[in-house]
Chain A
């Protein structure tokens, strides 16, 4: 039998079902992996070994009586942005270092109800603001493919843990690429569904009109399995969409013959590392060999997506993070002189540099006299970008390109220059601005580091994205590659 940690979620589900091993055995095996490897990676903020083993034992008992859910006994990790009742939720921040949520996020609730076993909470950029996990109060996460490199961010703890075979799957959130970019840089699969597809309830808010939850897994099939459980209407999220959730696993086996793949010429411009571009072109050739046709499409306003994002996201973040006042929860400064001092020092001490920078950027663009020039203007450009996508999807089923401009960069390389860091999300941000589903699929190595194929679809076409990814993975084995030190 293949070692338990090497198996995908789908393989593990079959193994549990046929009684090859128990959930307690599986959970213990993965907790041993955590103990062995986490010091190197720093992928976890909190490890919940006791709770995991107790849940696993309940899952094994449920299996005996045939009452387990569709994920019964399968171990996962939650990004530490999802509130978990009774287990601290830090969001990678000193501000919430000791915060214990009184309730579960809907995503957590749904996965637990389906029987998932939570191994712990994964490290992340502070309040999901970053593309390298270097803004985490708990220190950076390291990439299992090269420990000197970033695993991406903000969901870097999730991507590193899945790539290192510590867990078969992890939840993530994506505001500008925070699932897809780390998936690309670690050779894992990451999907961000349509805005409103998965509930944001209990997911600590960064930029509410862009935030969306998703998963990082090893295969498209595993992503389909998890997304089906997580998706669906939730009255507690005011922007949740009330549409039926298909069984994503049913259609992934269908052919992509005759489907149209849009190629954006500007995606392959000078900004893209040549070897990364070559891997992506090879991946598109595989899609063609499966019967898909390619069509050139134009997204003329796409070069404005990063500046648009860096107005809209900080504006929303400055509003969302105003809740941290040192009064109701979170860090509180000692011996405040007065109420203003309490606010200013609690926030000054509790937030890290990047978070403060984004709050101030947001405050600036929303402040009197600047609102029209920045915020309103950005919302107009956002419309132009969304309209470009709409026009493109009149002629194609997916848009394919690179997820990131290059493979993983070295930790420390971009930390001093916010703009260079922001530009790492140049190919991913458009999908957030337009609310579109998008995913990253491993498509090869460049200098022994993974790169990803980015697939974007029209609203609510997760089925098509997953089908493309699954069909691609039937022809290629890039998603099965494992970093040598973590085999």
Chain B
């Protein structure tokens, strides 16, 4: 069974990925801990309640344990399949095909002003 262990016992961003190491271990599973779930939730931009955290640790650990079965598959040299028909991305001429429907689209926006979407202040 291969899995990776983050250097600081938590998931890390892309910039720190180089510090991850793969170790081989016969034991299963790899339960997630609360810190890891916190970090995943942060990456996913999800605020969870304390109760949700406790439940997520338990259920996500089960799910990770379940998908770990894949490590048993012999996949040397198998080309990953991204599209069920192996079709290539279709291209179209680089021409404007949309009409301006900003006002219509913004009817669904929670907060707009003068055609702009409003968010909390980002720059002081």
A348 contacts B2, C-beta separation under 8 Å: no
Closest to B36 in A: A364
Q: Determine whether the beta carbon of A386 is less than 8 Å from that of B44.
A: no
* Other-chain contact of B52, A209, A341, A356 (Cβ < 8 Å): A356
For A348, what are the chain B residues with a Cβ–Cβ distance below 8 Å?
46-49
Q: Contacts A238-B89, A348-B48, A356-B48: A209 and B66 contacting too (C-beta < 8 A)? A: no
B67-A100 in contact (CB<8A): no
Cross-chain contact A364 with B20 (CB below 8 angstroms): no
- Secondary structure of the B contact surface, majority rule: loop
Is A336 positioned at the interface, with any CB of B under 8 Å from its CB?
yes
A66 CB–B CB distance under 8 Å = no
Q: Which residues B65-96 have CB closer than 8 A to chain A? A: 66-71, 73, 75, 78-85, 87, 89-90, 92
Residue in contact with B70 in the complex, picked from A241, A353, A364, A377, CB distance below 8 Å: A377
A378 to B75, CA, bound (A): 10
Of chain A, the residue at the smallest CB distance from B101 is A102
What is the interface of chain B, defined by CB distance below 8 A to chain A? 2-4, 6, 11-14, 16-17, 20, 22, 32, 37, 40-49, 52, 55-56, 59-60, 62-64, 66-71, 73, 75, 78-85, 87, 89-90, 92, 101, 104-105, 107-111, 117, 119-122
Other-chain contact of B60, A194, A361, A380 (Cβ < 8 Å) = A361
List of A residues within 8 angstroms of B6 by Cβ: 369
A370 proximal to B (CB < 8 A) = yes
Smallest beta-carbon distance A320→chain B, Å: 12
A361 adjacent to B63 (CB under 8 Å): yes
Contacting residues, chain A, for B3 (C-beta < 8 A):
373
Whether, in the assembled complex, A326 has its beta carbon less than 8 Å from a beta carbon of chain B, the answer is yes
Asked whether A357 is an interface residue with its Cβ less than 8 Å from the other chain, the reply is yes
State how many angstroms separate the Cβ of B48 from the closest Cβ of chain A.
Answer: 6
Query: Chain A residues near B66 (CB, 8 Å)?
Result: 306-307, 310, 419, 422
A246 and B104 alpha carbons, distance in the complex (Å): 37
Residue of B nearest to A310 (CB): B67
Provide the residues of chain A in CB contact with B90, threshold 8 Å. 238
The answer to whether B110 and A434 touch across the interface, beta carbons within 8 angstroms, is no
| Apart from the given pairs A373-B3, A380-B78, 17 other A-B contacts in the complex at a CB distance below 8 Å | A102-B104, A239-B87, A307-B70, A322-B45, A329-B109, A345-B47, A348-B46, A353-B52, A360-B41, A360-B46, A364-B11, A367-B43, A377-B70, A381-B73, A384-B73, A384-B78, A419-B63
Q: Which residues of A contact B4 (CB under 8 A)?
A: 369-370, 373
Min CB distance A311 to B, Å, is: 5
With A and B bound together, what is the CA distance between A374 and B73 in angstroms?
Answer: 12
- What residues of chain A lie closer than 8 Å to B49, measured between beta carbons? 348
Complex CA gap A374/B71 in Å reads 8
Task: Select the residue from B22, B40, B101, B104 with max chain A CB neighbours within 10 A.
Answer: B40
Contact A102 B73, CB 8 Å, known A311-B67, A363-B43? no
Shortest beta-carbon distance from B64 to chain A in Å: 7
Among A209, A310, A349, A369, the residue within 8 A (CB) of B17 is A369
Contact assessment for B16 and A368 in the assembled complex, using a CB-CB cutoff below 8 Å: yes
Interface size of A in residues (CB-CB distance below 8 Å)? 78
| Residues B62 and A338 in contact, CB atoms below 8 Å apart | no
Q: How far is the CB of A280 from chain B (nearest CB, A)?
A: 26
What separation, in Å, do the CA atoms of A345 and B75 have in the docked complex? 40
In the complex, which residue of chain A has the Cβ closest to the Cβ of B104? A102
Chain A residues whose CB sits within 8 angstroms of the CB of B2 once the complex forms = 373
Q: Is A365 an interface residue (CB 8 A)?
A: yes
Residues in A with CB closer than 8 Å to B111 are 332
Residues of A within 8 A of B52 (CB): 353, 356
Q: What is the 8 Å Cβ interface bit string for chain A, positions 390-423, against chain B (1 contact, 0 not)? A: 0000000000000000000000000001110010
- Complex alpha-carbon distance, A194 and B73, angstroms: 26
Partner of B45, one of A343, A361, A417: A343
Residues of B within 8 A of A100 (CB): 107-108
Q: How far is the CA of A353 from the CA of B101 in the complex (A)?
A: 34
Which A residues are CB-close (under 8 A) to B46?
344, 347-348, 351, 356, 359-360
Which residues of chain B have C-beta atoms less than 8 A from A357's C-beta?
56, 59-60, 63
Question: How long is the Cα–Cα vector from A25 to B89 in the complex, in angstroms?
Answer: 47
Complex contact B56–A360 (CB within 8 A): yes
A245 at the interface (CB under 8 A from B): no
CA distance A82 to B12 in the complex (A): 37
Q: Are the C-beta atoms of A327 and B110 separated by less than 8 Å?
A: yes
Distance between A379 CB and nearest chain B CB, rounded to angstroms? 3
Given contacts A369-B20, A380-B73, whether A209 and B48 have CB atoms under 8 Å apart is no
Q: Is the CB of A326 within 8 A of B110?
A: yes
Q: In the complex, A156 Cα to B63 Cα: how many Å?
A: 24
On whether the beta carbons of A353 and B45 are closer than 8 Å, the reply is no
List B contacts of A381 (CB < 8 A): 70, 73, 75, 78
Q: Which residues of A contact B32 (CB under 8 A)?
A: 364
B122–A339 touching, CB < 8 Å: yes
Assess the B40–A364 pair: CB atoms within 8 A. Answer: yes
User: Given A361-B63, A369-B11, A347–B47 Cβ distance below 8 Å?
Assistant: yes
Assess whether A383 is in contact with B40, with CB atoms less than 8 Å apart: no
Is A433 in contact with chain B by the CB < 8 A criterion? yes
Question: Complex: how many Å from CA A357 to CA B45?
Answer: 13
